[in-house]
Amino acid sequence: MKKFGYEEREVSDIKKLAGGGSKTMRRKSMHEIAELSGKIKKTDEKMEEEMTKEFIDFYSKNINTKSKLITGVVEFLVWCKNNSISMAVCTNKQEHLSIDLLKKIKIYHFFDYVAGGNTFNYNKPNPKHLTDTLEIIGGNIKKTIMIGDSETDSNAAKAANIPFVLIEGSYTEKRTNEIYHDHVVKDFVNLENTIKKYL
């Protein structure tokens, strides 16, 4: 933001904007600045592309600098594999960045497929992002559960009519009871007990 003449944002200000992809996060951040300052600064498409490229380049070089797994996630993934539960990642991160991150945090091998924000011509909250990923792995929508940590995940699951497990501490300012979910958990510890109800 600062490099392109905009006010630098604090992490606490932009955390709620994450989850929709880099372009969406940047646009919403710029819109918030305009609302707060009362000044609307127009950007052309070329600058928008340059800003997005700058963000992606920096992000790709630092993708796992502060990334860490949620408590219990490895144990949960092992349990799923041992019970022949197919798993896929459906994220608005770019596909190659998603795969890179999953490999660096050593959980890529658990998943049958990774669908990023640029895998299809649409992404979450569009339910087709979920249903097309499901089709690719040969899944049955009636035996599918989505686990996510954002309102974007929630809206996609709801539109696809898929049960949704919400991980608390998500990228939103909304309270847990304001986000659609079938179950809510703080981490992945003993999450298999919830999943067993659907098996």
| pLDDT, tens digit (0-9, with 9 covering 90-100), for 58-80 | 888 999 888 889 999 999 999 99
pLDDT in tens, 139-181: 999 999 999 998 999 999 999 999 999 999 777 778 888 999 9
pLDDT at 172: 73
pLDDT at 32: 75
Q: Is 87's pLDDT higher than 90?
A: yes
More confident residue, 63 or 21: 63
| Domain residue ranges in the chain | 11-61, 73-196
The reply to whether CATH 1.10.510.10 applies to domain 73-196 is no
Q: Which of 41-45, 96-100, 157-161 has the lowest mean pLDDT?
A: 41-45
- Cα radius of gyration rounded to whole Å, the chain: 18
pLDDT in tens, 115-142: 999 999 999 999 999 999 999 999 999 9
Q: Is 6's pLDDT higher than 90?
A: no
pLDDT at 110: 98
Q: pLDDT band for position 31 (50/70/90)?
A: confident
More confident residue, 101 or 30: 101
Q: Is 99's pLDDT higher than 80?
A: yes
Q: pLDDT band for position 39 (50/70/90)?
A: low
Which of 112-120's residues contact partners 24+ apart within 8 Å by CB, and which partners?
112/86, 112/87, 112/88, 112/137, 113/88, 113/89, 113/137, 114/88, 114/89, 115/88, 115/89, 115/90, 115/91, 116/91, 116/92, 117/21, 117/91, 117/92, 117/93, 118/94, 119/95
- Cβ atoms of 179 and 154 within 8 Å: the answer is yes
More confident residue, 51 or 166: 166
pLDDT at 40: 60
